[in-house]
Amino acid sequence: MFLSRLLSVGTGLIFSLMVTRNTTVQEYGVYGNLSDTLSYFTLPAMIIPFWTTRFTARDHAGAPRTGLTANITLSTIFAAMYMLLLPLITSVFHTEAYLTVYTIIVIQILELYTLHAFESILHARQPHKIAYGFLVFEACKVLIGYVLIIQLKLSLLGAISSMMIAYALQLMFYLKLTAPQLQGKIRWRYLKEWLKASPINLYNIAGQRLAALVLIILFIYAGEVARAYYGAALTIASIIGYSSLLAFALYPRLLSKTDTQDISTSLGMVLMFAIPMTAGAMILSDSYVTILRSEYQVARPVLIVLTMNALCMSVSSVLGTIVSGTEKVDERARIPFRELVKTRLFQVFTLPYIKAAVTIPLAYFILTAMAQTAIMATTFVAGIILATNIPILYVTFTIARRCVDFSIPWKSIAKYVAASAVMAVVLFLIPHPTRILHTLAVTLLGGAVYLLTLLPTDREARSLAKSVIHEILRIAKLSE
């Protein structure tokens, strides 16, 4: 999973460059707003997949087909709701001029619900195959984007269409992978249990989207340009979040058997990459925002803040996995809702509401009373998000430790920090490039310095490197 995301850094950067360099700053702001808006209509998309993964991992027959059927049905309901509310949406955001893209994006609602259903099935038994599907999506997105955005010059419409076509091809690939597991009967009894427990999932997802409302507020009160600055910085910072995928298999593993060594190993692997990626993104922040587009040079402070936030979120993701993976309330295919409310899982699901209670009023006050420019507004909002995520990270850690007493690999973390410091010094001393290929070369240099510093001192890093090489050779042999 992690390797697929690293490979996607290249494809993602290519696509981002095609979009940012072939749309105006205002259009790129609308591009971000489309994603924000869509997220509210895909709120329930993960409710049924959440239980599908758990039931499939615990060998409850018929769970895959039941989950897929239910989620596709749910997608049609929310797609219809979106179309009914479309005139109101474009009116509130004053984006009537972009009615075409706001209309066709409804297709993505249907795709995302189906995608989550397929991935929940694969996550339970074959999590690594989700990586292959992601690579299919990334490759198709770039190829189709080149035709629609560069050749046909469809600008924003081309970017949206490229994403939707790539999603469709990814879904076809997942259908082929999961076909054997979809042979079982639909078990309506499972669906009854899932729907009975769905309020707690909806509670979790609604809390996350409520916290994300701060970006809608940024768009409304600071405009498309401010949202574009945030989106450009997030394009780079989100790469750090890929490190959490090194713990992707921890969830189904914990569902079947709780092993504290798995937890410590996962935390170590995530931080092995998250720490140097954060340091590198901060040092080379001027280069990264510049290669997106020269207008985004002013977004450097936003990127620095969001990289630190991405590190927090990566660790929080692993800690959240520990809580959900060790929860046994649904182990017997029965989900008593009253018992769910008493679990530590419910405590974690409550944290986004606390975050929203802090970030939304603060963002509103700053955007309406203090921020004088678009970049100032964006930097303030990014700072608010980081300042709230740090204490939430500590609370999540406390809850996870109450679920299972795991150890933190402090010695390994110290080695990662030391190796990252060496890398940071090297990157700081050399000239920072402004061209794409030069920036990628300097990035690879930083990665090489980090690994050469770390490998001689860290046994786990050497073991992981051997595993990666072995897997690459295995795949190459199969392809022959």
User: Structural domain boundaries of the chain?
Assistant: 1-186, 192-415
What is d(CA 278, CA 276) in angstroms, rounded to the nearest whole number?
5
* pLDDT attached to residue 29: 84
* pLDDT attached to residue 9: 66
Q: How many CB atoms lie within 10 A of CB 458?
A: 21
* pLDDT attached to residue 479: 55
Greater confidence, 255 or 285?
Answer: 285
**Average of per-residue pLDDT across 82-110:** 93
pTM above 0.85, yes or no: no
C-alpha distances (whole Å) from 291 to each of 163, 171, 432 are: 22, 32, 11
Q: Which amino acid is at 218?
A: L
Lowest model confidence (mean pLDDT) among 206-220, 230-244, 246-260, 411-425: 246-260
Greater confidence, 165 or 251?
Answer: 165
Q: How many CB atoms lie within 10 A of CB 215?
A: 22
Residue whose token pair is 């051997």: 466
Greater confidence, 255 or 409?
Answer: 409
Mean pLDDT score of the chain: 87
What is d(CA 84, CA 90) in angstroms, rounded to the nearest whole number?
12
* pLDDT attached to residue 388: 95
Q: pLDDT-derived band of residue 186, with 50, 70 and 90 as boundaries?
A: confident
pLDDT at 333 over 60: no
* pLDDT attached to residue 127: 81
What is d(CA 225, CA 116) in angstroms, rounded to the nearest whole number?
31
Q: pLDDT-derived band of residue 276, with 50, 70 and 90 as boundaries?
A: very high
